[in-house]
Amino acid sequence: MATLNTLFHEHKKRSLIVSPVETSIFDLLKCGPGPSSSHTIGPMKAGYDFLCLCREKLPEFTQKPDHFLVRLYGSLSATGKGHGTCSAVLAGLLGHSPEKCPAGLLKNLGNNPDEHYTQLLGDIPITLSLRNIIYDTVVHDFPYNNTLVISLMDMKGEALFEREYYSVGGGFIQWKGWKAPEFGKPVHPYQSMKDLQNRLEETGLTLHELLLDNETAITGKSRVEILQYLDELIETMIMGVKRGLSKEGVLPGTLNVHRKAGVLYERAKTLNIFHERFLTNLNAYAMATAEENADGGVIVTTPTCGASGVLPALLYAMRYDMHIGDRAVREGFLAAVAIGFLAKHNAAIAGAEVGCQGEIGVASAMSAAMLTHARGFSAEYTANAAEVALEHHLGLTCDPVGGYVQIPCIERNAVGAVKAYNAFLLAISEDPKSHRVSLDSAIEAMGETGREMNAKFKETSLGGLAVSMVNC
Ligand code: SF4
């Protein structure tokens, strides 16, 4: 009974924390190279940020800088090899940001572990090499699992300057002493789906209009700029599916995983039963992006790299199989963003924090919401579709075999896409008022399940399939 009371009070305490969603679309959805937002995009941003800082601080250094040293901790150390973390930090220190990362750069860097590179700080050449990036301890006392410490060293091996970075999921980074940047405040503040639905009722706005109002207020960008960015993201996702469908061969790493998206796509053309053809295509679209991601291709974090195949699959099917117009697709995409915001705000979206439920589960929920909204259903139906998709991913662990975002990740994207479609079908088939589980409850359950989940199931490759498959 004592335990139940404690749980109840913890739950009450959490319910009383009120802070509105203030994340921007530009922060949640980023273009960058795969295979992992927390292990590739985040570390790359950290490397790039450190380089810029060193350039700023150069006049303050009393000794001549000589080389960079990077230490990876936690899940970055456990699975960084398979996720290309070292190449990503190196690319950042070489002056590449994720959005502008040239195709194939990370692969090239990874293929040349003994190569030494030079980066200029002012007119001082600084040495860089993969050999200066160290896989440190998996168990540590830093406040975040995915921690990396980047140091600028002098010739004697003394640190002139260093920063402790945290890759907190979805490509977001923070550092020791980090303070949330000051943005504008949302004009329609909400913390939960319930709040959001109240704001919609009060204002008479649609879900996508409300999101656009808030985005304008938070970022200070015009509607045109925001819509342009959304269209760019949509086109990046469509191109990712197309690229993936057209490629064949074996993915990088030791697992010998063959690309399958193109095979499925061709097979779909031979199927006469409509629903078999549609579902096989949906699987193919999801795997196309997931395979691109595994190969270090540029994807959009929806909401992460590992889960980046789910939403583009639905998007592609909406455009080319369901023939939904571009405007409705974009409006649906904004509904998906709302679900991503809520999941990130009230739980987490990183496999290293809450397991795969936070990646594929959230991606599936976002996709279900996108389709439901784009098909013209109300916000109530949209929330229920997202809830159904998330509910049936609760407890899903993150156990990438060998640390590669391939098994189970690629097929998991396909299953997440099909579940999203099914969640849409289930949600629109019932009176939304009779739906018993709220999206807020499902997100809360995901957060709690993630906090209780054993660390070995959170992107360390120390449990689940990552162990049983390797041991067989
Ligand atoms: S198992 Fe899921 S959470 Fe883990 S790396 Fe793969 S897609 Fe991401």
Is position 330 within any domain?
yes
Is position 18 within any domain?
no
Residue ending a domain, choose from 141, 175, 209: 175
Q: What spacing in Å lies between the alpha carbon of 363 and ligand 1's midpoint?
A: 11
| Residue 420 to residue 399: CA distance in whole angstroms | 22
Is position 12 within any domain?
no
SS3 track for the chain: CHHHHHHHHHHHHHHHCCCCCCCCHHHHCCEEECCCHHHHHHHHHHHHHHHHHHHHHHHHCCCCEEEEEEEEECHHHHHHHHHCHHHHHHHHHCCCCHHHCCCCHHHHHHHCCCCEEEEEECCEEEEEEHHHEEECCCCCCCCCCCEEEEEEEECCCCEEEEEEEEEEECCEEEECCCCCCCCCCCCCCCCCHHHHHHHHHHHCCCHHHHHHHHHHHHHCCCHHHHHHHHHHHHHHHHHHHHHHHHCCCECCCCCCCECCHHHHHHHHHCCCCHHHHHHHHHHHHHHHHHHHHHCCCEEECCCCCCCCCHHHHHHHHHHHCCCCCHHHHHHHHHHHHHHHHHHHHHCCCCHHHHCHHHCHHHHHHHHHHHHHHHCCCCHHHHHHHHHHHHHCCCCCCECCHHHCCCCCHHHHHHHHHHHHHHHHHHHHCCCHHHCCCCHHHHHHHHHHHHHHCCHHHECCCCCCHHHHHHHC
Is position 27 within any domain?
no
Test site for ligand 1: of 251, 304, 399, 409, most ligand atoms within 8 A of the Cβ: 409
* 12 exposure class (CB count in 10 Å sphere: 0-12, 13-18, 19+): exposed
Residues 328 and 416 in one domain: yes
Q: Assign residue 70 the CATH number of its domain.
A: 3.30.1330.90
Task: Please report, rounded to a whole number, the percentage of residues in the chain having pLDDT higher than 70.
Answer: 96
Q: Given this model, what pLDDT does residue 450 score?
A: 97
Cβ of 374 closer than 6 Å to ligand 1, yes or no, is: no
Residues 199 and 116 in one domain: no
Cβ of 360 closer than 6 Å to ligand 1, yes or no, is: yes
Q: Given this model, what pLDDT does residue 3 score?
A: 45
Residues 434 and 329 in one domain: yes
pLDDT digits (tens, 9 = 90+) for 35-66: 998 899 999 999 999 999 999 999 999 999 99
CA-closest candidate to residue 298, choices 99, 111, 110: 99
Residues 195 and 79 in one domain: no
Look at the block and give the residue holding tokens 């289930």. Answer: 426
Residues 352 and 221 in one domain: yes
Residues 154 and 211 in one domain: no
Test site for ligand 1: of 398, 399, 404, 407, most ligand atoms within 8 A of the Cβ: 398
pLDDT (average), residues 373-386: 98
Please give the residue range of the domain that contains residue 241: 185-471
Residues 440 and 358 in one domain: yes
* 90 exposure class (CB count in 10 Å sphere: 0-12, 13-18, 19+): buried
Q: What spacing in Å lies between the alpha carbon of 304 and ligand 1's midpoint?
A: 9
Counted domains in the chain: 2
Cβ of 358 closer than 6 Å to ligand 1, yes or no, is: no
Is the N-terminal amide bond of 408 cis, ω within 30° of 0?
yes
Residue ending a domain, choose from 145, 175, 205: 175
Q: What spacing in Å lies between the alpha carbon of 306 and ligand 1's midpoint?
A: 5
Phi-psi region of 18 (alpha: psi -120 to 50; beta: other; left: phi over 0): beta
pLDDT (average), residues 427-443: 98
Q: Which residues pair with 324 in a beta bridge?
A: none
- Is 356 a residue whose pLDDT tops 50? yes
Cβ of 450 closer than 6 Å to ligand 1, yes or no, is: no
Test site for ligand 1: of 81, 412, 465, most ligand atoms within 8 A of the Cβ: 412
Q: How many CB atoms lie within 10 A of CB 201?
A: 10
| Residue 187 to residue 214: CA distance in whole angstroms | 6
Cβ of 459 closer than 6 Å to ligand 1, yes or no, is: yes
pLDDT digits (tens, 9 = 90+) for 103-157: 789 989 999 999 999 999 999 999 899 999 999 999 999 999 899 999 999 999 9
Residues 161 and 244 in one domain: no
Atom nearest to 351 CA in ligand 1: 3
pLDDT (average), residues 369-393: 98
Q: What spacing in Å lies between the alpha carbon of 466 and ligand 1's midpoint?
A: 11
Q: What spacing in Å lies between the alpha carbon of 369 and ligand 1's midpoint?
A: 21
| Residue 190 to residue 51: CA distance in whole angstroms | 37
* Confidence bin at 369 (pLDDT 50/70/90): very high
Q: What spacing in Å lies between the alpha carbon of 239 and ligand 1's midpoint?
A: 22
Cβ of 309 closer than 6 Å to ligand 1, yes or no, is: no
Q: Given this model, what pLDDT does residue 99 score?
A: 86
Cβ of 353 closer than 6 Å to ligand 1, yes or no, is: no
| Residue 131 to residue 113: CA distance in whole angstroms | 7
Structure token pair of residue 197 = 């639905």
| Residue 22 to residue 342: CA distance in whole angstroms | 10
Instruction: Return the residue whose CA atom lies nearest to atom 8 of ligand 1.
Output: 306
Residues 210 and 315 in one domain: yes
